[in-house]
Amino acid sequence: MDEYRIALIPGDGIGPEVIAPAVEVLAAAGKKFRRRFTFTMLEAGGAAIERYGLPLPEGTVEAAAECGALLLGAVGGPQWDNLPGSGRPERALLDLRKELGVFANLRPAVLRPQLRDVCPLKKELVQDGFDLLIVRELTGGLYFGDRGRGADGRSAFDMESYSAVEIERVLRAGYEAALRRRKKLTLVDKANVLETSRLWREVNGEVMGDYPGVAVDFLYVDNAAMQLVRAPGKFDVIVTSNLFGDILSDEASALTGSIGMLPSASLGAAPGASSGGQRFGIYEPIHGSAPDIAGKDMANPLGAILSAALMLRYSFGLEEEALAVEAAVTAVLEAGLRTADIARGSTKPAGTRKMGAAVAEALAG
Protein backbone atom coordinates (compact mmCIF):
# COMPACT_ATOMS: atom_id res chain seq x y z
CA MET A 1 0.00 0.00 0.00
CA ASP A 2 1.33 3.45 -0.87
CA GLU A 3 2.08 5.65 2.09
CA TYR A 4 1.06 9.30 2.25
CA ARG A 5 2.65 11.33 5.03
CA ILE A 6 0.68 14.25 6.39
CA ALA A 7 1.91 16.85 8.88
CA LEU A 8 -0.81 18.24 11.14
CA ILE A 9 -0.81 21.60 12.87
CA PRO A 10 -4.18 21.95 14.59
CA GLY A 11 -3.16 25.33 16.07
CA ASP A 12 -5.43 27.61 18.07
CA GLY A 13 -9.08 28.43 18.69
CA ILE A 14 -11.31 26.18 16.60
CA GLY A 15 -8.26 24.79 14.76
CA PRO A 16 -8.03 21.52 16.73
CA GLU A 17 -11.82 21.05 16.56
CA VAL A 18 -11.91 21.20 12.76
CA ILE A 19 -8.71 19.22 12.18
CA ALA A 20 -10.04 16.25 14.17
CA PRO A 21 -12.98 15.64 11.79
CA ALA A 22 -10.72 16.22 8.77
CA VAL A 23 -8.46 13.45 10.06
CA GLU A 24 -11.49 11.24 10.69
CA VAL A 25 -12.59 11.76 7.08
CA LEU A 26 -9.08 11.04 5.78
CA ALA A 27 -9.03 7.83 7.80
CA ALA A 28 -12.34 6.82 6.23
CA ALA A 29 -10.97 7.62 2.77
CA GLY A 30 -7.85 5.59 3.51
CA LYS A 31 -9.93 2.62 4.55
CA LYS A 32 -12.23 2.82 1.57
CA PHE A 33 -9.53 3.28 -1.06
CA ARG A 34 -6.83 1.26 0.68
CA ARG A 35 -4.39 4.12 1.13
CA ARG A 36 -2.15 4.49 4.12
CA PHE A 37 -2.25 8.01 5.54
CA THR A 38 0.16 8.62 8.37
CA PHE A 39 0.09 11.73 10.54
CA THR A 40 2.86 13.72 12.20
CA MET A 41 1.58 16.10 14.85
CA LEU A 42 3.39 19.46 14.98
CA GLU A 43 2.86 22.68 16.89
CA ALA A 44 2.79 26.29 15.79
CA GLY A 45 1.04 29.53 16.63
CA GLY A 46 -0.34 30.42 20.04
CA ALA A 47 -0.23 26.81 21.24
CA ALA A 48 3.52 26.78 20.55
CA ILE A 49 4.01 30.16 22.25
CA GLU A 50 2.44 28.72 25.40
CA ARG A 51 4.63 25.61 25.36
CA TYR A 52 7.91 26.77 23.93
CA GLY A 53 7.75 30.56 24.12
CA LEU A 54 7.88 31.03 20.35
CA PRO A 55 5.33 30.67 17.56
CA LEU A 56 7.31 28.35 15.30
CA PRO A 57 9.49 25.96 17.33
CA GLU A 58 12.79 24.96 15.83
CA GLY A 59 12.57 21.93 13.57
CA THR A 60 8.89 22.41 12.73
CA VAL A 61 9.52 23.53 9.16
CA GLU A 62 11.91 20.64 8.55
CA ALA A 63 9.51 18.12 10.07
CA ALA A 64 6.69 19.43 7.87
CA ALA A 65 8.90 19.34 4.78
CA GLU A 66 9.60 15.66 5.37
CA CYS A 67 5.90 14.98 4.91
CA GLY A 68 4.06 15.16 1.60
CA ALA A 69 1.70 17.86 2.79
CA LEU A 70 0.72 19.97 5.78
CA LEU A 71 -2.84 20.30 7.01
CA LEU A 72 -3.28 23.28 9.29
CA GLY A 73 -6.26 24.41 11.38
CA ALA A 74 -5.79 28.05 12.34
CA VAL A 75 -3.52 30.21 14.44
CA GLY A 76 -4.04 33.29 16.58
CA GLY A 77 -6.20 34.59 19.39
CA PRO A 78 -6.79 37.72 21.46
CA GLN A 79 -4.45 36.59 24.26
CA TRP A 80 -1.48 36.98 21.90
CA ASP A 81 -2.59 40.20 20.21
CA ASN A 82 -0.23 42.42 22.18
CA LEU A 83 2.94 40.53 21.35
CA PRO A 84 5.39 42.21 18.97
CA GLY A 85 4.95 41.22 15.29
CA SER A 86 7.79 38.69 15.29
CA GLY A 87 6.41 36.84 18.32
CA ARG A 88 2.76 36.64 17.24
CA PRO A 89 1.07 33.37 16.27
CA GLU A 90 0.47 34.68 12.73
CA ARG A 91 4.23 34.92 12.26
CA ALA A 92 4.36 31.10 12.35
CA LEU A 93 1.91 30.89 9.48
CA LEU A 94 3.83 33.42 7.41
CA ASP A 95 7.16 31.69 8.09
CA LEU A 96 5.73 28.28 7.22
CA ARG A 97 4.42 29.62 3.91
CA LYS A 98 7.67 31.38 3.10
CA GLU A 99 10.07 28.65 4.18
CA LEU A 100 8.05 25.89 2.57
CA GLY A 101 7.93 27.93 -0.63
CA VAL A 102 4.18 27.76 -1.22
CA PHE A 103 3.74 30.86 -3.33
CA ALA A 104 0.40 30.08 -4.99
CA ASN A 105 -2.62 30.10 -2.71
CA LEU A 106 -5.73 28.63 -4.33
CA ARG A 107 -8.99 29.69 -2.73
CA PRO A 108 -12.07 28.36 -4.48
CA ALA A 109 -15.43 29.97 -3.69
CA VAL A 110 -18.47 28.11 -4.94
CA LEU A 111 -22.13 28.78 -4.32
CA ARG A 112 -23.61 25.34 -3.69
CA PRO A 113 -27.24 24.83 -4.62
CA GLN A 114 -27.89 23.46 -1.12
CA LEU A 115 -26.68 26.70 0.45
CA ARG A 116 -28.33 29.20 -1.85
CA ASP A 117 -30.60 30.36 0.96
CA VAL A 118 -27.63 31.45 3.09
CA CYS A 119 -25.99 33.49 0.32
CA PRO A 120 -26.39 37.11 1.43
CA LEU A 121 -26.89 38.40 -2.12
CA LYS A 122 -30.28 38.99 -3.69
CA LYS A 123 -31.58 35.95 -5.55
CA GLU A 124 -31.54 37.62 -8.95
CA LEU A 125 -27.80 38.31 -8.66
CA VAL A 126 -26.91 34.66 -8.15
CA GLN A 127 -29.55 32.90 -10.22
CA ASP A 128 -26.89 30.95 -12.06
CA GLY A 129 -24.71 30.46 -8.99
CA PHE A 130 -20.98 31.14 -9.09
CA ASP A 131 -17.81 29.12 -9.05
CA LEU A 132 -14.65 31.16 -8.85
CA LEU A 133 -11.07 30.57 -7.83
CA ILE A 134 -8.86 33.19 -6.27
CA VAL A 135 -5.17 32.56 -6.87
CA ARG A 136 -3.42 34.68 -4.27
CA GLU A 137 0.33 35.30 -4.30
CA LEU A 138 1.40 34.06 -0.86
CA THR A 139 5.08 34.60 -0.14
CA GLY A 140 5.77 38.14 -1.30
CA GLY A 141 4.39 41.65 -1.42
CA LEU A 142 3.34 43.70 1.57
CA TYR A 143 3.38 40.70 3.89
CA PHE A 144 7.09 40.14 3.45
CA GLY A 145 8.47 43.57 2.53
CA ASP A 146 10.59 45.76 4.77
CA ARG A 147 8.66 47.32 7.58
CA GLY A 148 9.48 49.52 10.47
CA ARG A 149 9.09 52.72 12.40
CA GLY A 150 10.68 56.11 12.01
CA ALA A 151 13.16 57.28 14.66
CA ASP A 152 10.52 58.85 16.90
CA GLY A 153 8.18 55.88 16.54
CA ARG A 154 5.43 58.14 15.19
CA SER A 155 5.73 57.10 11.57
CA ALA A 156 5.70 53.61 10.11
CA PHE A 157 6.07 51.88 6.79
CA ASP A 158 5.37 48.53 5.13
CA MET A 159 6.87 48.01 1.72
CA GLU A 160 5.17 46.32 -1.21
CA SER A 161 7.75 44.84 -3.51
CA TYR A 162 7.55 42.15 -6.19
CA SER A 163 10.11 40.68 -8.53
CA ALA A 164 9.21 39.57 -12.05
CA VAL A 165 10.08 36.00 -11.05
CA GLU A 166 7.61 36.03 -8.16
CA ILE A 167 4.90 37.45 -10.40
CA GLU A 168 5.52 35.08 -13.27
CA ARG A 169 5.29 31.88 -11.24
CA VAL A 170 1.99 32.78 -9.60
CA LEU A 171 0.57 34.00 -12.91
CA ARG A 172 1.45 30.66 -14.47
CA ALA A 173 -0.28 28.86 -11.59
CA GLY A 174 -3.33 30.99 -12.38
CA TYR A 175 -3.24 30.24 -16.11
CA GLU A 176 -2.83 26.54 -15.49
CA ALA A 177 -5.82 26.58 -13.16
CA ALA A 178 -7.83 28.51 -15.77
CA LEU A 179 -7.01 25.90 -18.41
CA ARG A 180 -8.58 23.25 -16.17
CA ARG A 181 -11.67 25.44 -15.62
CA ARG A 182 -13.65 27.87 -17.77
CA LYS A 183 -10.52 29.44 -19.30
CA LYS A 184 -10.99 32.97 -18.07
CA LEU A 185 -8.46 34.87 -15.98
CA THR A 186 -8.89 38.26 -14.34
CA LEU A 187 -5.78 40.03 -13.13
CA VAL A 188 -6.74 42.18 -10.15
CA ASP A 189 -4.44 45.03 -9.19
CA LYS A 190 -4.19 48.76 -8.63
CA ALA A 191 -2.20 49.61 -11.74
CA ASN A 192 -3.62 53.13 -11.84
CA VAL A 193 -1.62 53.90 -8.69
CA LEU A 194 0.94 51.22 -7.80
CA GLU A 195 4.20 50.56 -9.62
CA THR A 196 4.19 46.93 -8.48
CA SER A 197 0.83 46.50 -10.21
CA ARG A 198 2.26 47.93 -13.40
CA LEU A 199 5.02 45.31 -13.23
CA TRP A 200 2.36 42.60 -12.76
CA ARG A 201 0.71 43.75 -15.99
CA GLU A 202 4.04 43.89 -17.80
CA VAL A 203 4.93 40.34 -16.76
CA ASN A 204 1.44 39.18 -17.65
CA GLY A 205 2.02 40.57 -21.14
CA GLU A 206 5.06 38.30 -21.44
CA VAL A 207 3.33 35.20 -20.07
CA MET A 208 -0.17 35.28 -21.53
CA GLY A 209 1.00 34.30 -25.01
CA ASP A 210 1.82 30.85 -23.65
CA TYR A 211 -1.87 30.31 -22.84
CA PRO A 212 -3.73 31.33 -25.99
CA GLY A 213 -6.84 29.43 -24.88
CA VAL A 214 -7.34 31.65 -21.83
CA ALA A 215 -9.27 34.94 -22.09
CA VAL A 216 -7.69 37.63 -19.91
CA ASP A 217 -9.12 40.80 -18.47
CA PHE A 218 -8.01 43.35 -15.90
CA LEU A 219 -9.76 44.94 -12.95
CA TYR A 220 -8.65 47.43 -10.35
CA VAL A 221 -9.07 45.93 -6.92
CA ASP A 222 -11.70 48.43 -5.78
CA ASN A 223 -13.80 47.63 -8.83
CA ALA A 224 -13.20 43.89 -8.34
CA ALA A 225 -14.47 44.12 -4.76
CA MET A 226 -17.62 45.75 -6.12
CA GLN A 227 -18.09 43.31 -9.03
CA LEU A 228 -17.82 40.40 -6.61
CA VAL A 229 -21.01 41.48 -4.85
CA ARG A 230 -22.77 42.58 -8.04
CA ALA A 231 -22.02 39.72 -10.41
CA PRO A 232 -19.86 36.99 -8.85
CA GLY A 233 -20.85 34.62 -11.65
CA LYS A 234 -18.74 36.63 -14.11
CA PHE A 235 -15.49 35.46 -12.52
CA ASP A 236 -13.58 32.29 -13.21
CA VAL A 237 -9.97 32.65 -12.02
CA ILE A 238 -8.78 35.79 -10.24
CA VAL A 239 -5.02 36.23 -9.86
CA THR A 240 -3.80 38.86 -7.46
CA SER A 241 -1.20 39.95 -4.92
CA ASN A 242 -0.91 38.75 -1.34
CA LEU A 243 -2.82 41.57 0.36
CA PHE A 244 -5.53 41.96 -2.27
CA GLY A 245 -6.05 38.19 -2.30
CA ASP A 246 -6.38 38.12 1.48
CA ILE A 247 -9.14 40.71 1.36
CA LEU A 248 -11.01 39.48 -1.71
CA SER A 249 -11.02 35.87 -0.52
CA ASP A 250 -12.81 36.80 2.71
CA GLU A 251 -15.32 38.76 0.65
CA ALA A 252 -15.85 35.86 -1.78
CA SER A 253 -16.22 33.41 1.08
CA ALA A 254 -19.02 35.41 2.67
CA LEU A 255 -20.91 35.19 -0.64
CA THR A 256 -20.92 31.39 -0.41
CA GLY A 257 -22.91 31.64 2.80
CA SER A 258 -20.18 31.14 5.35
CA ILE A 259 -16.44 31.55 5.64
CA GLY A 260 -16.56 28.19 7.43
CA MET A 261 -17.08 26.42 4.11
CA LEU A 262 -13.96 27.52 2.27
CA PRO A 263 -10.82 25.43 1.87
CA SER A 264 -7.48 26.52 0.52
CA ALA A 265 -4.42 24.96 -1.03
CA SER A 266 -1.01 26.61 -1.06
CA LEU A 267 1.40 25.17 -3.57
CA GLY A 268 5.00 25.63 -4.58
CA ALA A 269 6.69 24.78 -7.83
CA ALA A 270 5.44 21.76 -9.76
CA PRO A 271 7.34 18.63 -8.73
CA GLY A 272 10.33 17.30 -10.58
CA ALA A 273 10.48 13.77 -11.95
CA SER A 274 12.13 12.44 -8.78
CA SER A 275 9.29 13.39 -6.43
CA GLY A 276 7.17 10.34 -7.15
CA GLY A 277 4.40 12.67 -8.33
CA GLN A 278 3.85 14.22 -4.88
CA ARG A 279 3.81 18.00 -4.66
CA PHE A 280 4.15 19.60 -1.26
CA GLY A 281 1.37 21.89 -0.19
CA ILE A 282 -0.13 23.57 2.87
CA TYR A 283 -3.88 23.07 3.23
CA GLU A 284 -6.01 25.17 5.52
CA PRO A 285 -9.56 26.30 5.88
CA ILE A 286 -9.58 30.06 5.43
CA HIS A 287 -11.79 30.84 8.45
CA GLY A 288 -9.12 31.48 11.07
CA SER A 289 -9.20 30.60 14.76
CA ALA A 290 -12.64 32.10 15.65
CA PRO A 291 -11.89 32.34 19.40
CA ASP A 292 -15.47 33.40 20.15
CA ILE A 293 -16.81 29.93 19.32
CA ALA A 294 -13.75 27.85 20.24
CA GLY A 295 -14.33 24.83 22.47
CA LYS A 296 -18.11 24.91 21.94
CA ASP A 297 -18.45 22.21 19.28
CA MET A 298 -20.00 24.87 17.04
CA ALA A 299 -17.41 25.36 14.29
CA ASN A 300 -18.07 24.25 10.73
CA PRO A 301 -15.54 21.51 9.90
CA LEU A 302 -16.35 21.49 6.18
CA GLY A 303 -13.66 24.06 5.27
CA ALA A 304 -11.06 21.79 6.88
CA ILE A 305 -12.53 18.63 5.35
CA LEU A 306 -12.61 20.22 1.90
CA SER A 307 -9.01 21.35 2.45
CA ALA A 308 -8.11 17.71 3.06
CA ALA A 309 -9.80 16.89 -0.27
CA LEU A 310 -7.64 19.49 -2.01
CA MET A 311 -4.60 17.87 -0.40
CA LEU A 312 -5.55 14.47 -1.82
CA ARG A 313 -5.92 16.06 -5.24
CA TYR A 314 -2.97 18.42 -5.47
CA SER A 315 -0.29 16.91 -3.26
CA PHE A 316 -1.02 13.22 -3.68
CA GLY A 317 -2.69 13.07 -7.09
CA LEU A 318 -5.57 11.06 -5.56
CA GLU A 319 -8.37 12.51 -7.66
CA GLU A 320 -10.89 9.75 -7.08
CA GLU A 321 -10.42 10.00 -3.32
CA ALA A 322 -10.70 13.81 -3.44
CA LEU A 323 -13.95 13.59 -5.41
CA ALA A 324 -15.31 11.04 -2.95
CA VAL A 325 -14.66 13.38 0.00
CA GLU A 326 -16.28 16.27 -1.85
CA ALA A 327 -19.27 14.10 -2.76
CA ALA A 328 -19.63 13.05 0.88
CA VAL A 329 -19.77 16.73 1.91
CA THR A 330 -22.43 17.37 -0.72
CA ALA A 331 -24.42 14.33 0.43
CA VAL A 332 -24.43 15.53 4.02
CA LEU A 333 -25.59 19.00 2.98
CA GLU A 334 -28.23 17.43 0.73
CA ALA A 335 -29.45 15.47 3.73
CA GLY A 336 -30.05 18.79 5.47
CA LEU A 337 -27.30 18.72 8.10
CA ARG A 338 -26.11 22.23 8.96
CA THR A 339 -23.66 23.70 11.47
CA ALA A 340 -24.80 26.93 13.14
CA ASP A 341 -23.13 29.22 10.59
CA ILE A 342 -25.16 27.77 7.70
CA ALA A 343 -28.38 26.85 9.52
CA ARG A 344 -31.44 28.93 8.82
CA GLY A 345 -35.02 28.99 10.04
CA SER A 346 -36.11 26.05 12.13
CA THR A 347 -33.09 23.86 11.32
CA LYS A 348 -31.47 22.69 14.53
CA PRO A 349 -27.71 23.14 14.07
CA ALA A 350 -25.43 20.13 14.22
CA GLY A 351 -22.20 20.34 16.18
CA THR A 352 -18.71 20.11 14.72
CA ARG A 353 -18.26 16.49 15.74
CA LYS A 354 -21.62 15.38 14.42
CA MET A 355 -21.01 17.09 11.09
CA GLY A 356 -17.56 15.50 10.74
CA ALA A 357 -18.84 12.04 11.66
CA ALA A 358 -21.66 12.38 9.12
CA VAL A 359 -19.19 13.16 6.32
CA ALA A 360 -16.97 10.22 7.31
CA GLU A 361 -20.01 7.98 7.35
CA ALA A 362 -21.27 9.21 3.98
CA LEU A 363 -17.84 8.54 2.57
CA ALA A 364 -17.66 5.02 3.96
CA GLY A 365 -21.00 4.51 2.20
| Binding of residue 286 to ligand IPM (CB under 6 A) | yes
Bridge partners of residue 188, in order along the sequence: 219, 240
Kind of pairing, strands 104-110 and 131-137? antiparallel
Instruction: Point out which residues pair with 133 in neighbouring strands.
Output: 108, 237
Least distance from C-beta 247 to Mg ion, angstroms? Answer: 8
Site string for ligand IPM, 76-115 (x = CB under 6 A): x-------------x--x----------------------
Backbone angles phi, psi at 292, to 5 degrees: -65, -25
Catalytic, 211? Answer no
Q: Where are the alpha helices (DSSP H) in the chain?
A: 15-33, 46-52, 60-65, 89-99, 164-179, 195-207, 221-230, 242-255, 302-314, 319-334, 352-364
CB-CB contact of 311 with 6 (8 Å):
yes
- Smallest distance, Mg ion to C-beta of residue 250, A: 5
CB of 138 to ligand IPM, least distance (A): 7
Between 114 and 249, CB nearer to ligand IPM: 249
Our answer to whether residue 143 is catalytic in this structure is yes
Q: Which is nearer to ligand IPM, 260 or 288 (CB)?
A: 288
Which of ligand IPM, Mg ion, none interacts with 358 (beta carbon under 5 to 8 A by kind)? none
Nearer to ligand IPM, 44 or 93 (CB): 93
Report the largest interatomic distance among the alpha carbons of the chain, rounded to a whole angstrom: 65
Q: Which is nearer to ligand IPM, 106 or 207 (CB)?
A: 106
Query: In the complex, what is the shortest distance from the CB of residue 128 to Mg ion, in angstroms, rounded to a whole number?
Result: 27
Catalytic residue among 12, 189, 246, 341: 246
246 lines the binding site for Mg ion (CB under 5 A): yes
Q: How far is the CB of 246 from ligand IPM (least distance, A)?
A: 4
The verdict on 285 binding ligand IPM (CB under 6 A) reads: no
Please list, in sequence order, all residues whose beta carbon lies within 8 angstroms of the beta carbon of residue 332, skipping any fewer than 6 positions away: 355, 358, 359, 362
Q: Which is nearer to ligand IPM, 21 or 288 (CB)?
A: 288
Q: How many residues are recorded in the chain?
A: 365
348 is an active site residue: no
The phi, psi pair for 65, rounded to 5°, reads -65, -25
Reference 37, options 8, 6, 58; nearest CA is: 6
Is 162 noted as a catalytic residue in this protein? no
User: Which residues, in sequence order, are CB contacts of 96 under 8 Å at separation 6+?
Assistant: 9, 44, 56, 60, 61, 64, 70, 72, 282
Confirm whether 250 is a catalytic residue. Answer: yes
Catalytic residue among 189, 190, 211, 283: 190
Q: At what angle do helices 195-207 and 164-179 cross, to 10 degrees?
A: 50
Q: Any idea which residues carry the catalytic annotation?
A: 143, 190, 222, 246, 250
Given the rule CB under 6 A, which residues bind ligand IPM?
Answer: 76, 90, 93, 246, 286, 288
Given the rule CB under 5 A, which residues bind Mg ion?
Answer: 246
